[in-house]
Amino acid sequence: MSALGLVFQFLLVNNLVLYYFVGICPALEHSRDLRSALSFGTVLSFVLVLTAMLAWFLDSLVLRPLGLTMIRTFVLLVLIGGLVQGFALGAERIGGAFAALMDKYLPLFAANCAVFGLSLIVIGMELSIGEVIAAGLGAGLGVMLVLVLLSAIREHMESEWVHPAFRGTPIVIISAGLMAMAFHAFDSFFLSGLF
């Protein structure tokens, strides 16, 4: 599949939140308003692309040639923790709005299963580096799309009558389930025919 096809595959078909169910906790938390959804989605997209690339380089250039694939999980967790710490130090030096944004979201990325999950997914798919970048970009945009759609649903639900038992998180989870079924209509065969 082409790089553009991989972007759309991770954007729609293999969405990290709706297909793999990783990163659903931050999706529920940061979909409260559109601004939070866009800012979190943007930072997460950047982190996903970078960690997927670094995980691919580490796995294909170090772990596989040395026969150390059995410690892949530990190495990826250390890589993600180190990357988050590096971002935190870099954000302190830059300062300004970027530092405030990074301070707000970086602790989430250290324990975010979407970042770790995408790293394992792209390593398991045995992609090239260009395909890994496309998959990371598509995954980040896919999470951002889900966040924006959930924030729009939440905003709409505030003006509609919802049974008291379903108000808040329950209706958001039901909406996410319906979105997952809608996204499932875009299957791999449909996308492979397009790209």
Distance CA 42, CA 109 (A): 13
**Residue that is written with structure tokens 């989605």 in the block:** 41
Which pTM value belongs to this model? Answer: 0.84
Question: Taking the CA atoms of the chain, what radius of gyration do you get in angstroms?
Answer: 18
CB 134 within 8 A of CB 3: yes
59 Cβ contact list (under 8 Å, min separation 6) = 69, 72, 123
SS3 112: coil
**DSSP one-letter code for 163:** -
Q: Tell me how crowded residue 163 is: count the other CB atoms within 10 A of its CB.
A: 8
Q: What are the domain boundaries of the chain?
A: 3-182
Q: What is the pLDDT along the chain (195 residues), one digit of tens a residue?
A: 688 888 888 988 889 988 888 878 777 777 788 888 888 888 888 888 999 999 999 999 999 999 998 999 999 988 888 887 777 777 677 766 666 666 666 666 655 788 889 999 999 998 999 999 999 999 999 999 999 999 888 888 878 888 888 888 888 888 888 888 888 877 756 666 666
